[in-house]
Amino acid sequence: MEATDAFLFGLVLIVFAYGITFGFAIDLPSAVRVKLPPWMRVEGISELKNILIEIILVYLIVDFATDVAEVETRVSWDMLLKPVAIILIAGALRLVRNARSERVHAEPGPANDSEPERS
């Protein structure tokens, strides 16, 4: 279980490093950028922040599963703190995404700014 935990954490760090590299460090032409897989195309800091929160959630879930597998005695109520924290963080991430998507859709754009001009 510990090896799986370390492998997943390393994989997550690689994905995060690619996101930073291809999102901010290297300026790729649009023709090359289109050929990249979607997980390598980072549009901004907010997307990178969401990826980091998702990474933390995955790590906490794997860590909790590892803890449960290693415990040979009865599970106590103290062990429920980590799953509750996972649920709260996931709920907060969902609320942030919903608030952001509502704000993006509510902002007036060039097409929604005003009424059509009358001649």
Mean of the per-residue pLDDT values of the chain:
77
Instruction: Assess if residue 117 is contained within a domain.
Output: no
pLDDT digits (tens, 9 = 90+) for 17-32: 887 887 777 777 888 8
42: which 2 tokens? 């980072």
20: which 2 tokens? 């930073």
Instruction: Assess if residue 86 is contained within a domain.
Output: yes
SS3 67: helix
Query: Any residues with CB less than 8 A from the CB of 76 and at least 6 apart, and which?
Result: none
What are the distances in angstroms from CA 36 to CA 65, 71, 87, 101? 33, 42, 32, 24
Domain count of the fold of the chain: 1
Would you say 96 and 108 are in contact if contact means Cβ atoms under 8 Å apart? no
Domain that holds residue 15: 2-106
Rounded distance between C-alpha atoms, residue 42 and residue 28, angstroms: 12
pLDDT number for residue 118 = 46
pLDDT digits (tens, 9 = 90+) for 72-110: 767 777 888 889 999 999 999 999 887 766 666 666 655
39-68 mean pLDDT? 81
Instruction: Assess if residue 115 is contained within a domain.
Output: no
Rounded distance between C-alpha atoms, residue 106 and residue 110, angstroms: 13
Which amino acid, residue 90?
Answer: A
